[in-house]
Amino acid sequence: MDVEGYARRNLERGRAPQDIITDLADRIVEIKKINYEHALNFAHAVLVEVQATSNLTADILKYEKAGVSMGAFGVGSRGTGDFYAHRKIAEIIGTSGATVGVEDMDDAGVVQAGGQFIVCTVDGMHSRLSDFPYLAGFHVTRATLRDCYVMGARPVMLFSDIHVADDGDVAKIFDYTAGVTTVGELTGVPLVSGSTLRIGGDMVIGDRMTGCVGTVGVAEHITARRLAADGDLLLMTEGAGGGTIATTALYYGYHDVVDRTINLTFLRAADKILSSDLLGSIHAMTDVTNGGLRGDVHEMAKTAGLRFVVIEDTVQDLVDPMVYRMLMDLEIDPLGVSLDAMLIIAPPDVIYQVQSLLSGIGVKSLVVGKVEAGTPEPVLIRDGKEEPFNPRFREAAYTPLKKLVEKEQQDFEMMTQKVDHAAKAAIAKKERVIQKLSGK
């Protein structure tokens, strides 16, 4: 619980300070093991700090509100709202001069230094794995390494950031780190730095955990999405999912499926490709994560300016059988969730050599589609017929709560207008401060 947010909202609504303190103390006692008198003092201190930071007018201390919440817009939910917000972030960052920058909407960023491509990626742990720290650390590390590999880079180091709320057990940090370093040690990539903090310091009570893991890698040949070409084929490897599938299995009671996600198949496959002579002939690679194939193919078509055609039946053959049965039981779209499979985009002769290479190490892969010239769009072949293959507002609802939230629909066009306004305000502030600090 964010006690600062609770106090600030109630103060803005005009509630009497003493009533806020009393009600907040009641909620604090529910969560923290402290006596009521201390809870009252705690709540009073919170209100003092909130009052001291309310109604500030300095430009640097306020921001233009969109009036649209993260949840309502689907930010972080790997659908149309999330993709839209990320394109706004790219606008705020602007032209960075990077070899592959945020405007490319790719899995990793790339700069050139010392005659090599330096690749950097970062992934946030799955928010619903807070109570399962080892799983959270394992899957987020695997995710950031995937993003590095699919840019054609060999990972050389990991960094970690872990935040646990005030009442969380310290052991969460240790278990999470054990998950991170399990993957790191098995792949020979060391964890070299990081940060450990409390979520919101004293102002957030409870035991929620969140964090991220990043990777730095080096490459001589990059495989960015924008490099896909007309005539390329799409080769996809089998996937058993990662954090998303583990979360689905946990919260729907399919606990035996969680073990299916504990593997290094993707990383072994990627390492094999990077060690081969085929890497230089591969145009692009990605991992099937952001809203599943629906999201990834949509973004690739936009970035490459080409038509991406995907065959549904073939994709289904590449979902781990136990995972696929669970998704079918729960009526979850396999095309709309993260499968943690690899998607390789290259000319036909290269694709078949890659397929043979992967088969040699026991990794199943199939050609699931092709790239064509034409209107930049994703297309799905279902039962022999073409149909639109667009991402949904959020990725396929994969927990009971997400299925409930999915039913809540709002005016997306109205929200985007408000988000646009807020993004423009942030850009304007950035320009004001830059002008001030540069003395212009």
Task: State the pLDDT at residue 65.
Answer: 92
**Structural domain range at position 15:** 3-55
Structural domain ending residue among the three candidates 222, 251, 273: 222
In this structure, is residue 253 part of a structural domain?
yes
Task: State the pLDDT at residue 288.
Answer: 92
CATH number at residue 155: 3.30.1330.10
* 28/166 same-domain check: no
* 217/235 same-domain check: no
Task: State the pLDDT at residue 24.
Answer: 96
Task: State the pLDDT at residue 95.
Answer: 81
Task: State the pLDDT at residue 437.
Answer: 93
Domain total in the chain: 4
Nearest 5°: phi and psi at 399?
-135, 160
* 164/175 same-domain check: yes
In this structure, is residue 143 part of a structural domain?
yes
Q: Please determine, for residue 396, whether its predicted confidence score (pLDDT) is greater than 80.
A: no
Q: Please determine, for residue 409, whether its predicted confidence score (pLDDT) is greater than 70.
A: no
**Assign residue 127 a region: left if phi > 0, alpha if psi is -120 to 50, beta otherwise?**
alpha
Task: State the pLDDT at residue 393.
Answer: 72
* 385/424 same-domain check: no
Task: State the pLDDT at residue 223.
Answer: 92
Is the separation of the CB atoms in 253 and 246 below 8 Å?
no
Task: State the pLDDT at residue 440.
Answer: 66
In this structure, is residue 407 part of a structural domain?
no
Task: State the pLDDT at residue 261.
Answer: 97
* 233/374 same-domain check: yes
Q: Please determine, for residue 336, whether its predicted confidence score (pLDDT) is greater than 80.
A: yes
* 190/262 same-domain check: no
Task: State the pLDDT at residue 175.
Answer: 97
* 305/343 same-domain check: yes
Mean pLDDT of the chain: 92
Residue 299's pLDDT band (boundaries 50, 70, 90)? confident
* 230/257 same-domain check: yes
Q: Which of 334, 329, 331, 330 is nearest to 317 (CA)?
A: 334
Least confident interval from 69-83, 145-159, 226-240, 295-309: 69-83
The Cα 156–Cα 167 span in angstroms is 35
In this structure, is residue 418 part of a structural domain?
yes
pLDDT in tens, 280-291: 999 999 999 877
* 200/323 same-domain check: no
In this structure, is residue 360 part of a structural domain?
yes
Bridge partners of 343? 236, 286
pLDDT in tens, 3-36: 999 999 999 999 999 999 999 999 999 999 899 9
- Mode of pairing for the β-strands spanning 377-382 and 307-311: parallel
* 247/382 same-domain check: yes
In this structure, is residue 147 part of a structural domain?
yes
In this structure, is residue 406 part of a structural domain?
no
Task: State the pLDDT at residue 408.
Answer: 59
Helix axes 348-359, 265-274, angle to 10 degrees: 120
In this structure, is residue 176 part of a structural domain?
yes
* 166/177 same-domain check: yes
Structural domain ending residue among the three candidates 193, 222, 251: 222
pLDDT in tens, 86-126: 889 889 988 878 998 887 777 899 999 988 999 999 999 99
Residue 417's pLDDT band (boundaries 50, 70, 90)? very high
Give percent of the chain with pLDDT exceeding 90. Answer: 79
* Burial class (CB within 10 angstroms; exposed 0-12, middle 13-18, buried 19+) of 321: exposed
* 84/151 same-domain check: no
Task: State the pLDDT at residue 78.
Answer: 74
Q: Please determine, for residue 406, whether its predicted confidence score (pLDDT) is greater than 70.
A: no
